[in-house]
């Protein structure tokens, strides 16, 4: 089942995050069984050229390829969609107007305002009609909820036609409340719960980025009703396993 269809039916789907701009990372992550990967162009040095290569590699493994763009900017969104991305995750969508702008940047008229170009997504011109149909039926648009302003306007944001789901960014959300990284603070928990309640009430796909690569944290979110889940990211999986095994080795050596 396509990612768009899973979102429409509010079915559980699990992906991960890519910040290291090399095709081998995609190949390794793809072998783990994720359904989609998000290429992060906001908090990584990944360029448009590298992103296009990573998109192609991701899709060659049968995974959906999303791009977290750097900002809610029509030129940036247009370029990653023209590169062949299956969809975008857009940061700091804090209002209904922001959400409308995202949708307009992804879709061609009359649904949106995206300029028409002939690039990789359109098979360099020969697949434009096919791409138009795909865009309207299969592309994915995710609004990132990562500011208290977005929390306070969550009902309006998810009411925008063309937004397929939302994903909570816990670090920036807590930072916008003056408590960066303090996810256990009551105010932060209340903000996340407000988003959750709005999505559940409207049967709207509720997403979260589980940062630490710990299955129990993923299980907690699934049990809490989250269905669009990003499970950790490339460097965390690499770093955590390396540290875990080396700490185990050092403990064994020091015990001798």
CA distance 131 to 84: 10
Tally of helices (H runs) and strands (E runs) in the chain: 12, 8
Mean pLDDT, the chain, whole residue set: 96
- Which CATH number do you get for residue 164? 3.20.20.60
43 is catalytic: yes
**107 SS3 class:** coil
* Catalytic residue (choose from 23, 43, 147, 209): 43
At 183, the pLDDT band (50, 70, 90 cuts) reads confident
How large is the average pLDDT for residues 133-158?
A: 98
Domain that holds residue 204: 3-255
Asked if pLDDT for residue 33 goes beyond 70, the answer is yes
Q: Is the pTM of this model over 0.75?
A: yes
Give the chain's domain count.
1
pLDDT tens per residue across span 116-127: 999 999 999 999
The pLDDT assigned to 256 comes to: 65
Asked if pLDDT for residue 252 goes beyond 80, the answer is no
Long-range CB pairs of 40-43, under 8 A, 24+ apart, other chains included: 40/68, 40/233, 41/67, 41/68, 41/69, 41/70, 41/76, 41/80, 42/68, 42/69, 42/70, 42/71, 42/91, 43/19
pLDDT tens per residue across span 184-205: 899 999 999 999 999 999 999 9
The pLDDT assigned to 244 comes to: 86
Asked if pLDDT for residue 214 goes beyond 90, the answer is yes
């Amino acid at each position: 089942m396509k990612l768009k269809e899973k979102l429409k039916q509010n079915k559980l789907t699990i992906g991960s995050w890519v910040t290291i701009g090399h095709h081998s990372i995609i190949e390794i992550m793809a072998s783990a069984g994720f359904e989609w990967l998000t290429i992060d162009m906001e908090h990584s040095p990944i360029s448009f050229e590298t992103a296009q290569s990573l998109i192609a590699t991701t899709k060659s493994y049968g995974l959906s390829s999303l791009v977290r763009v750097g900002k809610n900017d029509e030129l940036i969104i247009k370029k990653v969609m023209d590169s062949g991305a299956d969809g975008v995750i857009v940061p700091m969508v804090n209002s209904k107007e922001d959400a409308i702008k995202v949708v307009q940047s992804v879709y061609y008229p009359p649904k949106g305002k995206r300029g028409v170009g002939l690039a990789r997504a359109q098979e360099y011109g020969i697949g434009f009609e096919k791409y138009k149909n795909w865009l309207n039926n299969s592309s994915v648009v995710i609004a990132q909820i990562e500011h208290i302003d977005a929390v306070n306007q969550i009902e309006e944001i998810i009411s925008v036609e063309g937004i397929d789901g939302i994903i909570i960014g816990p670090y920036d959300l807590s930072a916008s409340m003056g408590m960066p990284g303090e996810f256990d603070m009551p105010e932060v928990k209340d903000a996340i719960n407000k988003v959750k309640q709005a999505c559940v009430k409207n049967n709207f796909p509720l997403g979260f980025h589980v940062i630490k690569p710990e299955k129990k944290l993923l299980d907690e979110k699934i049990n809490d009703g989250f269905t669009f889940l990003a499970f950790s990211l490339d460097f965390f999986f690499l770093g955590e396993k390396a540290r875990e095994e080396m700490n185990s080795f050092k403990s064994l050596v020091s015990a001798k």
